[in-house]
Structure 1
Amino acid sequence: MTADFWSPVRLSVQIAGISGILVFIIGIMLARITAKKRFRGRVILETVFLLPLVLPPSVVGFLLIVFFGKNGTLGQVIEKVFSQPIMFTWWAAVIASTVVAFPLMYQSAKTGFEGIDEEIENAARVDGAGEWKLFWYVSLPLAGKSILTGAILSSARALGEFGATLMFAGNIPGQTQTIPTAIYIAMDSGNMTLAWLWVGVIIAISFIMLFIVTYIK
Structure 2
Amino acid sequence: MGNSFWAPVKLSLEVASFSTIIVLIIGVFFGQIMAKRKFKGKVLVDTIFLLPLVLPPTVVGFLLIMIFGRNSPVGQFIEWLFHQPIMFTWWAAAIASTVVAFPLMYQTARTGFEAIEEDIENAARVDGANTVSLFLFITIPLAYKSIITGAILSFARALGEFGATLMFAGNIPGKTQTLPTAIYAALDSGNMEMAWLWVGSIIAISFIMLVFVHFMRPR
TM range (shorter): over 0.9
C-alpha deviation, 1:80, in angstroms: 1.2
Distance 2:87 2:80 in 1: 14
Other-structure match for 1:152:
152
Q: Which amino acid in the other structure matches residue 114 of structure 2?
A: E
Other-structure match for 1:59:
59
Distance 1:152 1:50 in 2: 17
Distance 2:98 2:143 in 1: 22
Q: Which range is displaced more, 176-185 or 77-86? A: 77-86
Per-residue Cα deviation, 1:36-69 (whole angstroms, up to 9, x for no partner): 1100111000100000000000000000000000
Give the TM-score of the pair, scaled to structure 2.
0.98
Distance 2:146 2:215 in 1: 13
Other-structure match for 1:198:
198
Q: What does residue range 25-104 of structure 1 map to in structure 2 within 5 Å?
A: 25-104=25-104
C-alpha deviation, 1:4, in angstroms: 1.2
Distance 2:76 2:30 in 1: 27
Other-structure match for 1:182:
182
* Unaligned stretches of 5+ residues in structure 1: none
What SS does structure 2 have at the residue aligned with 1:203? helix
Q: Which amino acid in the other structure matches residue 112 of structure 2?
A: G
What SS does structure 1 have at the residue aligned with 2:171? coil
What SS does structure 1 have at the residue aligned with 2:21? helix
What SS does structure 2 have at the residue aligned with 1:50? helix
Percent identical pairs in the alignment equals: 68
The root-mean-square deviation of aligned C-alpha atoms, in Å, is: 0.5
Q: Which amino acid in the other structure matches residue 75 of structure 1?
A: G
Distance 1:187 1:50 in 2: 32
C-alpha deviation, 1:160, in angstroms: 0.3
What SS does structure 2 have at the residue aligned with 1:40? coil
Other-structure match for 2:142:
142
Give the TM-score of the pair, scaled to structure 1.
0.99
Q: Which amino acid in the other structure matches residue 49 of structure 1?
A: F
Distance 2:190 2:69 in 1: 32
Distance 2:36 2:72 in 1: 34
Q: Which amino acid in the other structure matches residue 196 of structure 2?
A: W
Distance 1:39 1:75 in 2: 32
Other-structure match for 1:125:
125
Other-structure match for 1:10:
10
C-alpha deviation, 1:32, in angstroms: 0.6
Distance 2:153 2:212 in 1: 10
Q: Which amino acid in the other structure matches residue 25 of structure 1?
A: I
